[in-house]
C-alpha cells in the first residue's frame, strides 16, 4: 500500500522532514551543495517509510506513533537530526514548525 504524498497532511509531513534533514546536513556535514550522501540516503528511506505508513492521512507524528516503522539505527539517526534541527526550525521555518507542533496533538488511530 502506498500513500499519496500529494495529500496536504502527508505533504506537510514530508516537507517538515526534508527541512529538518537539510538544516542538520548543512550545519553538521557542510556539503558543497544539497545533501551529503548519508543524509540523502536517510531522506530516501524516510520517504519510503512515509509512503508506506499504515495510518495514511490519519498518521500522527512519528514520536506519538505506536508503530515503529524505522529500523533501530534509523530511529536513533532521526532523533539526533530532530534534536538538532527542531529548535532551529523555529527561526528558519516558523509556520512549518508550528504546524508540526500542532500535529503532535493528533491521536494515533487504533491498531
CA distance 50 to 54: 9
At 7-33, the pLDDT tens digits run 888 899 999 999 999 999 999 999 999
**What is the residue range of 99's domain?**
8-103
Q: Check residue 85 and give its pLDDT.
A: 97
CA distances from residue 98 to 30, 85, 91 in whole angstroms, order as listed: 27, 14, 11
- Residue 54's SS3 state is coil
Number of H helices, E strands in the chain: 4, 0
pLDDT tens for 33-85 read 999 999 999 999 999 999 988 888 888 888 788 888 899 999 999 999 999 99
Res. 1: pLDDT tops 60: no
Please count the structural domains in the chain.
1
Using alpha carbons only, give the angle 21, 101, 86 rounded to the nearest 5 degrees: 30
Closest listed residue to residue 41, CA positions, set 69, 72, 78: 78
Residue 1 lies in a domain: no
The answer as to whether 110 is a domain residue is no
Amino acid at each position: 500500500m502506498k500513500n499519496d504524498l500529494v495529500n496536504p497532511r502527508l505533504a506537510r509531513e514530508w516537507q517538515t522532514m526534508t527541512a529538518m534533514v537539510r538544516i542538520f546536513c548543512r550545519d553538521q556535514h557542510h556539503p558543497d551543495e544539497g545533501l551529503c550522501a548519508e543524509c540523502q540516503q536517510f531522506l530516501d528511506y524516510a520517504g519510503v517509510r512515509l509512503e508506506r505508513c499504515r495510518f495514511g492521512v490519519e498518521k500522527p507524528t512519528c514520536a506519538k506513533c505506536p508503530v515503529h516503522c524505522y529500523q533501530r539505527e534509523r530511529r536513533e539517526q532521526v532523533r539526533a537530526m530532530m534534536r538538532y534541527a527542531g529548535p532551529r526550525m523555529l527561526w528558519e521555518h516558523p509556520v512549518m514548525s508550528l504546524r508540526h507542533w500542532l500535529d503532535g496533538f493528533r491521536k494515533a488511530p487504533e491498531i
